[in-house]
Each structure stands twice: as structure tokens, then as C-alpha cells.
């Protein structure tokens, strides 16, 4: 097992922080951490990265107990990308990578050169002159150029254009296929849905949902879309088992439910045959949890 926590907690007081975090990460997994700003995602990844010392709880990396004071950022088996990428502003990009490889104790020139080319990153520019997106590219290359076994990333695609986001997803997916375990936070819900094997949702510093992405998709709300119904039919639909929400506009009625069968039975009894069915997206599920 690459990473394991039990009741890991960082208590800032006033019910702010992360509480009783229990999770595991295995080789080849990509785990997505979801939640709006301020719920504890960055604090969680800060603890997992060794940058924030927990208040209590246990934490293992590579089956060994972690002493946060000794968990070094340049561990050759760990890659870290935090949301705010910061390096010496006067260094050129290539100097940053050379410095990083020296700290890692590995010769990685070809690797970071190839990654920089793939991500369209100018190695000759000073870090201070880079755009937000290019600074994020520097952080990404620095995090993965040594092919770590464990990769921890906080909002890795913020500031990246759509093409580079696709390249990022390809890189991370390939690393997972090669056995790297990845845990990342993201607001890009479509990204999480497409590449993550497991999803964790956090609210008020606590995990409220943790399951395989495929299971979450299967359990997602079903959405019926049909021509606008009368107030009486809408009222009857609201009473059906599993119905979560119903909304009628001028031309259509939209119904969200956890169970299809009661809705299908009612519609057939009313001879309503003009409708179609969708699965709620991860984004719609996310909003449901945080309303």
C-alpha cells in the first residue's frame, strides 16, 4: 500500500480543519478529492505531502509510519504539486529542473526536456516571467520527472488551457498504468470523472462520500425529461418513491430520481410516452451534496 491514514486530523479551532480522515491509496489508483473552497482539500493534501503537521491520527507511506518532520519534499519516490507553484523567480526553467534533479539525486535531463517539449514550456525563460499556466507546467514537470511511485497534486490543472489539460490527463493516466498511485484535488469535475478510479467528497473537513467512480456513476440520479405536465401530475410525481426534485418550465418537466421503476410505471399509467432519460453528471451530484 502506498498511503494509509487513520483518523488523521488537523484542527485549527472553530470547527475549521480536517477531521478523522481515513483513506488508503494503492498502486495504479487515481483518487479524486472533491469539495468547494474552504472545506479542507488543501489542508488534507498538505498533511499527505508532509507540509502540514497533523494534530492527531496516524499516517503511513509505503507501509512505514510517517514522521512529518522528516518527510522531505524531495523524496525520490514522491511527487508533489501544490496549488500555488513557487520557485526562485530569478532562475530559468531549466535551472529549476537541474536543481530539482540534484536534490533528488538522479540524472533526469532527457526526461524533463521531453516533458517540457510535450507541454510547450520554454526552458530558457525566468520563472518570474512566466504566465500562471506556464508556472503550473513547471510545477507539474518537477513533480513527475522522476517517475514517483506516489503523486500528490492540489488543483493540478488550474490555469492550464484545455489542450494542456488533456495532455496532463494523458500523462497521469499513463503513470497510473505503470503503477504510480495518484491523489489529486480538483474543481474540474469532468476531469475527475474521466480519469479517477475512486472519488472522495469532503464537506466541513470530513469525508462524506468515498467510492469507486464506476459505483458512483451507477448510483447517480436518473433524470427524466418530458413535455411540461399539469400541476396535478407534477404533484403526483413528487410523491413517488425515490423522486428527489421536479421542475416544470414552459415547455418541459425535468425530474430527478434515485429509482426509475416508480416513475416509469406512473408515466405508463398516464399514457405519457414522450420522454427521455439521462444520468446525472458528477457535477450535478456534487451540487446535490453541497446545497
Tens of pLDDT, residue by residue, the chain (291 residues): 899 999 999 999 998 999 999 999 999 999 998 887 888 899 999 999 888 889 999 989 998 888 765 555 557 899 999 988 999 999 999 999 999 999 888 899 999 999 999 999 999 999 999 999 999 999 999 999 999 999 999 999 988 999 999 999 999 999 999 999 999 998 777 778 889 999 998 888 999 889 998 888 777 788 999 999 999 999 999 999 999 889 999 999 999 998 899 999 999 999 999 999 987 776 677 666 666
pLDDT computed for residue 192 by the predictor: 84
What's the maximum distance between 2 C-alpha atoms anywhere in the chain?
73
CA-nearest of 45, 42, 30 to 193 is 30
Quickly list H helices, the chain. Answer: 41-48, 93-104, 109-118, 132-144, 162-177, 189-195, 213-218, 231-238, 261-269, 282-290
pLDDT computed for residue 70 by the predictor: 58
pLDDT computed for residue 288 by the predictor: 67
**Three cell numbers written together for 61:** 507511506
- Nearby residues of 230 by Cβ (< 8 Å), 6 or more positions away: none
pLDDT computed for residue 22 by the predictor: 95
Q: Which part of the chain is CATH 3.30.70?
A: 220-290
Interhelix angle 132-144/93-104, nearest 10 degrees = 20
- Nearby residues of 21 by Cβ (< 8 Å), 6 or more positions away: 5, 7, 8, 9, 44, 47, 57, 206, 207
CB atoms inside a 10 Å sphere around CB 199: 24
pLDDT computed for residue 139 by the predictor: 96
List the CATH code of the domain at 3-217: 3.40.50.300
pLDDT computed for residue 287 by the predictor: 67
Question: For residue 114, what are the β-bridge partners?
Answer: none
pTM of this prediction?
0.82
pLDDT computed for residue 216 by the predictor: 82
CATH architecture of residue range(s) 220-290: 2-Layer Sandwich (3.30)
- How many Cα atoms are found within 13 Å in the side-chain-facing hemisphere of 88? 11
Report the SS3 class of residue 17. Answer: strand
Amino acid at each position: 500500500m502506498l498511503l494509509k491514514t487513520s483518523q488523521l486530523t488537523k484542527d485549527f479551532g472553530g470547527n475549521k480543519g480536517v477531521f478523522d480522515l481515513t483513506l488508503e491509496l494503492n498502486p495504479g489508483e487515481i483518487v479524486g478529492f472533491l469539495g468547494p473552497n474552504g472545506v479542507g482539500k488543501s489542508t488534507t493534501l498538505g498533511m499527505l505531502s508532509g507540509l502540514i503537521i497533523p494534530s492527531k491520527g496516524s499516517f503511513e507511506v509505503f507501509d512505514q509510519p510517517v514522521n512529518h518532520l522528516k518527510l522531505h519534499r524531495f523524496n525520490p519516490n514522491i511527487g508533489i504539486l501544490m496549488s500555488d507553484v513557487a520557485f526562485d523567480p530569478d532562475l530559468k526553467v531549466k535551472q529549476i529542473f537541474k536543481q530539482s534533479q540534484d536534490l533528488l539525486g538522479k540524472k533526469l535531463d532527457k526526461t524533463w526536456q521531453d516533458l517540457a517539449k510535450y507541454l510547450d514550456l520554454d526552458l530558457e525563460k525566468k520563472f518570474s516571467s512566466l504566465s500562471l499556466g506556464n508556472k503550473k507546467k513547471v510545477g507539474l514537470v518537477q513533480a513527475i520527472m522522476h517517475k514517483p511511485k506516489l503523486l500528490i497534486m492540489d488543483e493540478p490543472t488550474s490555469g492550464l488551457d484545455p489542450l494542456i489539460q488533456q495532455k496532463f490527463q494523458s500523462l497521469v493516466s499513463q503513470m497510473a498504468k505503470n503503477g504510480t498511485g495518484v491523489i489529486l484535488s480538483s474543481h474540474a469535475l469532468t476531469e475527475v470523472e474521466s480519469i479517477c478510479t475512486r472519488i472522495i467528497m469532503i464537506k466541513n473537513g470530513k469525508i462524506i462520500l468515498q467510492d469507486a467512480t464506476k459505483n458512483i456513476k451507477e448510483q447517480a440520479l436518473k433524470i427524466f425529461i418530458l413535455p411540461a405536465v399539469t400541476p396535478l401530475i407534477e404533484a403526483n410525481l413528487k410523491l413517488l418513491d425515490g423522486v428527489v426534485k421536479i421542475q416544470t418550465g414552459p415547455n418541459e418537466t425535468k425530474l430527478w430520481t434515485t429509482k426509475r421503476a416508480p416513475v416509469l410505471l406512473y408515466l405508463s399509467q398516464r399514457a405519457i410516452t414522450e420522454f427521455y432519460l439521462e444520468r446525472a453528471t458528477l457535477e450535478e451530484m456534487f451540487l446535490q451534496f453541497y446545497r
